[in-house]
Structure 1
């Protein structure tokens, strides 16, 4: 699945951070950002600084793939099912 919105990306970052058992403050320190910045990114803030987002993705071990090719709705066989992560995050909202 493609990440289509800042909220989709935030859900992936939050899910991976939790999977690695990192709290927001620890991730923020590793990125060189504030905890508030991590909170905003995880909530899908659309104006997050790209350099920090890329640093977060790198620190969390998230693979960023910019492949150009035919569109498909199938998740990569060796990747994370982003559809499931996003659906889970949407269900968790109050």
Structure 2
């Protein structure tokens, strides 16, 4: 799963917990965090501490792999393409 922000991480944690049939209280106890903190994490709160988030993922049995996309894999910027077309090669009027 690709996680690019706090919301994605929260959704992943919630879905993983639910897939295991665990309550927030159960996962919080296993991870050594408060249920309130876990609730905030699952809601995508951006101020969640990284160490606690990693401990929570570990309690779920998840691992974290970080990677960079290959060069040029960020997609096409249509605004830049249109600007280049209109400015450099003439208008398509």
Superposed pair shares fold, TM > 0.5:
yes
Q: How many residues align?
A: 73
Alignment of 1:27-38 (within 5 A): 27-38=27-38
Give the whole-Å Cα distance in 1 for the aligned partners of 2:33 and 2:63: 21
Greater Rg by CA: 2
Residue 67 of structure 1: aligned partner: 67
SS in 1 for 2:44: coil
1:44 aligns with 2:44: yes
Deviation at 1:69, TM superposition (A): 4.6
Residue 6 of structure 1: aligned partner: 6
TM-score, normalised relative to structure 2: 0.70
TM-score, normalised relative to structure 1: 0.69
Where structure 1 has 5 or more consecutive residues not aligned to the other structure, the ranges are 74-94
Give the whole-Å Cα distance in 2 for the aligned partners of 1:4 and 1:68: 12
Structure 1 runs (4+) deviating above 3 angstroms are none
